[in-house]
Amino acid sequence: MTGEWKKGDVLPAISLPLTLRRSVQAVAGTRDYYPVHHDEKFARDSGAQGIFFNTMFLQGFAGRAISEWFGNDAFPRRLEIAMRGSNYVGQTLTIEGTVESVRESEGRRLVDAEATMRTEDGPTTGVKMTVQLGPGK
Amino acid sequence: MPVITDEQQALIGRESAPRPAPQAVNPAMASHWCEMVEDPNPIHHDEEYAASTWLEGTFAPPTMLFTWLMPPVWPEGNFKSPLRKLNLESCPNTIAVKAVQEYEKPLRYGDTLTITSQIADISDEKTTRLGTGHFVTTKDTFRNPADEIVGTHSFTLFIYRPAGDNGS
């Protein structure tokens, strides 16, 4: 992608099914063995509706979206994840967003964007990001 | 404990001793991470491609930052989170509220990161729909073997007793 980014540009939806297998991958991949992320009974006893995905998984999904949206040589500089609801096994997680500003700082070409992650239950996660674009992007 | 105590206040900003990450940044864990979120970016494993970019070589996904400090479940290490010093025993539940990562440099394979941790902020007692407790923000700083900061992670947690639980 070589187009010029501008405020208001849409960052198209990317979806990922939150299967039980993926929750196992997330436990091992993020090395987070807190039982709410792998033990259905423990999760329900603690007030959740089931096994839910952790913060690191959400960061990883946002990281993938940044590469898809801004290119393989885009480098994130800041990522803020605000947890407003849980992302449960059995749901589908979707991220989409909008470019908020494009600027230059200390020789870096930066894009600020906001995105939302949602499941079938509605928005679960607010995302703000600042991404450094590669040359020519 | 509606207001934080002097002892708790004194913990804010106090940096822990540096400790090494359990594993060096490595391509095996990075590929498991990419598999987890179906991230096909070749910059994390294709040396020829990565070397052709302004980032000058492969590196682990930046968003993996926090994963490099996760302690092994066996054998148990002796690092105690600064959170334990807060003495919030009346608040048994914890929920993640917000995470902010800042990335300074790529996480290069082979680098064992060094981590320091601190409590960056503690709120006075607040009541939300979940219950009553404190918003606590921890900040972890990650350095590479050249002692350069590669990134920071600020994590805001709500540590609380559930509504209806009188804490006794």
A75 and B55 within 8 Å at the Cβ level: the answer is yes
Average pLDDT rounded to a whole number, residues A94-112: 96
pLDDT band at B168 (very low <50, low <70, confident <90, very high): very low
What pLDDT is recorded for position A1? 45
Q: Does A110 touch chain B (CB under 8 A)?
A: no
Residues B103-123, mean pLDDT to the nearest whole number: 97
pLDDT of res. A79:
98
Q: Is the backbone peptide bond immediately before A12 cis, with ω within 30 degrees of 0?
A: no
pLDDT computed for residue A4 by the predictor = 86
Give me the CATH code for the B6-162 domain, please: 3.10.129.10
Rounded to whole angstroms, how far apart are CA atoms A72 and A75?
Answer: 8
Q: How far apart are CA B68 and CA B112, in angstroms?
A: 9
Domain boundaries, chain B: 6-162
Mean pLDDT of chain B: 92
Compute the count of residue pairs across chains A and B with CB atoms less than 8 Å apart: 110
Residues of A whose CB is below 8 A from B98: 80-83
B106 secondary structure, DSSP code: -
List, in order, residues 6 or more apart from A107 with CB less than 8 Å away: none
What topology does CATH give the domain A10-132? Thiol Ester Dehydrase; Chain A (3.10.129)
Closest CA to A101 of A130, A125, A65, A66: A130
Which of B93, B96, B102 is nearest residue A55 as measured by Cβ atoms? B96
pLDDT of the residue at B7: 84
Q: What pLDDT score was predicted for residue B164? A: 74
Highest mean pLDDT among A43-57, B38-52, B80-94, B153-167: B38-52
Domain extents for chain A?
10-132
Any A CB within 8 A of B148 CB: no
What value of ipTM does the predicted structure carry?
0.95
Q: What is the mean pLDDT of residues A45-72?
A: 96
Prediction pTM value: 0.94
